[in-house]
Amino acid sequence: QLQLQESGPGLVKPSETLSLTCTVSGGSISSSRNYWGWIRQPPGKGLEWIGSMYYSGSTYYNPSLKSRVTISVDTSKNQFSLKLSSVTAADTAVFYCASLYSGNSLDYWGQGTLVTVSS
């Protein structure tokens, strides 16, 4: 069974770049079965899809965030990463990484990590 774990700084300053890593265990990130994705949830609010990537490196981003988001993969470490640039307080959220079944259903989730944007 797949397990995912997010890691990264819990506090980021405004205008800087938020960087998170998701470590996958229990399976290979290079499996053709899976897409991998990032989702965020501001405190007390709903879920928002940030973007997804296929193991080959093809990426797909939420149009509202596309200019600030980069998702990449490190197959040697079985990890994939999220970078969100030029952050503001509105980017404060719990960030989740997840695997996507057939590119459309989020079947395994990490526990989530809270990132606060504040000076």
Partner 1 sequence: QSALTQPASVSGSPGQSITISCTGTSSDVGSYNLVSWYQQHPGKAPKLIIYEGSKRPSGASNRFSGSKSGNTASLTISGLQAEDEADYYCCSYAGNSALVFGGGTKVTVL
- Identify any residues that bridge with 36 across adjacent strands, giving them in sequence order: 53, 99
Could you tell me which of 47, 31, 28 has the C-alpha nearest to residue 39? 47
Among 13, 33, 107, 116, binds partner 1 (CB under 8 A): 107
Instruction: Provide the token pair at 88.
Output: 């503001």
DSSP assignment of 15-59 equals TS-EEEEEEEESS-TT-TTEEEEEEEE-TTS--EEEEEEETTS-E
User: What part of residues 11-40 is at the interface with partner 1 (CB under 8 A)?
Assistant: 35, 37, 39
10 in contact with partner 1 (CB under 8 A): no
Among 56, 102, 118, 119, binds partner 1 (CB under 8 A): 102
Among 7, 19, 23, 109, binds partner 1 (CB under 8 A): 109
Q: Which residues bind partner 1 (CB under 8 A)?
A: 35, 37, 39, 46-49, 52, 58, 60, 62-64, 96, 101-107, 109-112
